[in-house]
Structure 1
Amino acid sequence: MRTRATVAAVSGALALSALGVPAAQADDSAASYRAGVAKVREAAQAGSGRAAGKPYNLNVSFSDVKIAKTVKVGTTGHVATTVTYTLTHGADVDITARDFLTDPVLYRGSPTAPENRLYGNKPAKCTATSATTANCKGTIDVYPGGSERELRNADAGTWRVAAEATDYNGQDPDGEIFDITKTGYKSQAGLGTTLMQRASKLTVDAAPEPVKKGKPITVTGKLSRANWDRGTYNGYVEQPVKLQFRKNGSTTYTTVKTIKTNATGNLKTTVTAAQDGYFRFTFAGTTTTPAATPAGDFVDVR
């Protein structure tokens, strides 16, 4: 059973040491938090048994995981997606301790030897619902560009959800003496899935405008998607795209025809001018790329 000493307020690192908070957890940076957990995780996955210098099997389990069906990621910036789950733990596990951590993980491939993993910048926050259960909410933080470049084009598609918990029990993974056998760890994979998708863009332009009734209208556009390998948007080739029309005064679009993007992702087709209205392209999406529909382009028919 864990025990916690009550201490008077002290400043800086001394206060954190008195509270039994590992330095890796005192540092609020994502790098420090991730590095500490990674050290324990790697030791746990290398084998089992305290005698071999492994963390002990923490008495926790995870269930009722919820995550967005799709995560759309461009080429720059930061994308965060929320993951919620139920944490069930033994009476000997103090989830309120400052050095108890739990977090969601996304992975591709094998959970122990994944092709790629994604984590959150901070541990999940949990609210107890009984003496042995809690509702937890965390995030997965994705950085597709810059020095991180966490995704490659091959990563688009299905990712699986895991959750893990680490109980340092006062041990400091960054300290000179770190007894990992006193640290508890548990990971549970295969808890759910999401689609990691390369963000898409679709444009439309209908010309000429105005146009005489009965004359041809040329509608052009381009379908492109994020290229995580290069950090750019490139044409999505040979994809079916619908041309739709909405007459002026109506709220409903109807499909005129379906065409395919060319070798550079461009679209071009012609229709006959019949009445004032809006033309647009619409792309239904694929497993690796989300749907896209731009605002309609108005054509004045005279």
Structure 2
Amino acid sequence: MRLRATVAAVSGALALSALALPAAHAADGSSYRAAALQAAAHHTSGKAAFAATSAPIGDLKVSFSDFKITKAIKVGTTNKISTTVTYKLTHGADVDINSDAFATGPLIYRGSDQNPENIQGGNNPATCVETSATTATCKGPIDINPRETDADLKLYNSQAGTWHGAAIALDFDSEKTAVQFGLGTTLVQRNSTLTVNAAPEPVKKGKTLTVTGKLSRANWEDHKYHGYTGQSVKLQFRKKGSSTYTTLKTVKSDSTGALKTTTKATVDGYYRFSFAGTTTTPAVSAAGDFVDVK
């Protein structure tokens, strides 16, 4: 595991120094992100399973609940992606969440609590609003960069699919932390694209139309889009003046992601391909291609 190897390579003193940042820098994006991710990785190293209890780990008296995250995060090859997470934070009476030395934020991780393949967090800490003397509602980002060069944070194609939610709190003065895993799930998916072309245009009524297209998805390792092979894709038609597509047939993408099929032209309307998606790749529909039937 890359994360565990990194943590193991850092001495105890150096690991502490990463958390022992001046309080004034606690809310600084780069400082927070580095400390949060390292602390989370540190808490996974050599630990027993936590998912069964989803209890907080660490020496800071903080726990998390009501973790809400989007169902899916679509990540392409270039643009940084950000999504917002909300959660409830419960803390001990001796924890001052309004201190400049305190920071908290959401995390997501791929794999098990004990052996995550990857952990992603926000570039900045969450903002929290107190709801009582010991509780607060918090809102913070998860930021994912498909062009990340750090080996521990880089996305790999094999990591597409289900990720789990976590949250972390850090006190930069006391150097105490708390991490809680197993708070929820989301899909981190390789973004998809789909094209369509129906020909000839125009076409005589009753004649054969050839419909072609291509289903592609992001490759996080070479930052290009490649054909998604062997996938079932629906050919759909929407009559001119209608707002509803109906499915004509289902075809499969070939070894390059290409799609090709034929259908009879009957009336003016729009043809498109539509892909239902998988856990690793989001659903996508091509923009309809209008065909004038003479």
TM-score range, shorter chain: 0.7 to 0.9
CA 1:295 to 1:150, structure 2 compared with 1: closer, same or farther past 3 Å? same
For the 8 Å contact 2:29–2:125, the answer to whether it is kept is no
Structure 2 gap ranges (5+): 1-19, 48-56
CA 1:222 to 1:39, structure 2 compared with 1: closer, same or farther past 3 Å? closer
Matching residue of 1:15: none
In the alignment, structure 1 residue 23 sits paired with structure 2 residue 22: yes
Matching residue of 2:54: none
In the alignment, structure 1 residue 257 sits paired with structure 2 residue 256: no
1:145 deviation in Å?
A: 1.6
Number of equivalent positions: 264
1:113 deviation in Å?
A: 3.1
For the 8 Å contact 1:142–1:150, the answer to whether it is kept is no
1:47 deviation in Å?
A: 8.1
1:35 deviation in Å?
A: 2.8
* Equivalent position amino acid for 2:271 in 1: F
For the 8 Å contact 1:24–1:36, the answer to whether it is kept is no
For the 8 Å contact 2:276–2:284, the answer to whether it is kept is yes
* Equivalent position amino acid for 1:155 in 2: Q
For the 8 Å contact 1:65–1:192, the answer to whether it is kept is yes
For the 8 Å contact 1:202–1:293, the answer to whether it is kept is yes
1:40 deviation in Å?
A: 4.7
* Equivalent position amino acid for 2:270 in 1: Y
SS class of match (2:290): strand
SS class of match (1:203): strand
For the 8 Å contact 2:196–2:289, the answer to whether it is kept is yes
Could you report, residue by residue, the CA deviation over 1:40-82 in whole angstroms, capped at 9, with x for unpaired residues? 556656689xxxxxx9611111000000000000011200011
Matching residue of 2:191: 199
1:231 deviation in Å?
A: 0.7
Of 161, 175, 178, the match for 1:186? 178
Matching residue of 1:223: 215
For the 8 Å contact 1:74–1:198, the answer to whether it is kept is yes
1:183 deviation in Å?
A: 2.1
Farther off after superposition, 147-156 or 279-288: 147-156
* Equivalent position amino acid for 1:101 in 2: A
CA 1:110 to 1:90, structure 2 compared with 1: closer, same or farther past 3 Å? same
Matching residue of 1:70: 72
Matching residue of 2:92: 90
Look at both structures and tell me which one has the larger radius of gyration over its CA atoms: 1
Matching residue of 1:167: 171
Matching residue of 2:161: 157
SS class of match (2:146): coil
SS class of match (2:251): strand
* Equivalent position amino acid for 1:69 in 2: K
For the 8 Å contact 1:66–1:192, the answer to whether it is kept is yes
For the 8 Å contact 2:27–2:103, the answer to whether it is kept is no
Matching residue of 1:269: 261
Taking the aligned partners of 1:230 and 1:214, their CA distance within structure 2 comes to 45
* Equivalent position amino acid for 1:89 in 2: H
Of 106, 119, 122, the match for 1:120? 122
1:27 deviation in Å?
A: 7.6
Taking the aligned partners of 1:130 and 1:28, their CA distance within structure 2 comes to 23
1:251 deviation in Å?
A: 1.4
Q: Percent identity?
A: 58
For the 8 Å contact 1:76–1:146, the answer to whether it is kept is no
CA 1:32 to 1:240, structure 2 compared with 1: closer, same or farther past 3 Å? same
For the 8 Å contact 2:89–2:135, the answer to whether it is kept is yes
1:107 deviation in Å?
A: 0.7
Taking the aligned partners of 1:76 and 1:207, their CA distance within structure 2 comes to 33
Taking the aligned partners of 1:47 and 1:59, their CA distance within structure 2 comes to 22
Taking the aligned partners of 2:113 and 2:255, their CA distance within structure 1 comes to 37
CA 1:43 to 1:107, structure 2 compared with 1: closer, same or farther past 3 Å? closer
1:247 deviation in Å?
A: 1.2
Could you report, residue by residue, the CA deviation over 1:1-30 in whole angstroms, capped at 9, with x for unpaired residues? xxxxxxxxxxxxxxxxxxxx9437528653
SS class of match (2:34): helix
1:229 deviation in Å?
A: 1.4
1:6-45 map, 5 Å: 22-23=21-22, 25-26=24-25, 30-38=29-37, 40-41=39-40
Structure 1 gap ranges (5+): 1-20, 49-54, 170-181
Could you report, residue by residue, the CA deviation over 1:230-254 in whole angstroms, capped at 9, with x for unpaired residues? 1100000010000011111111111
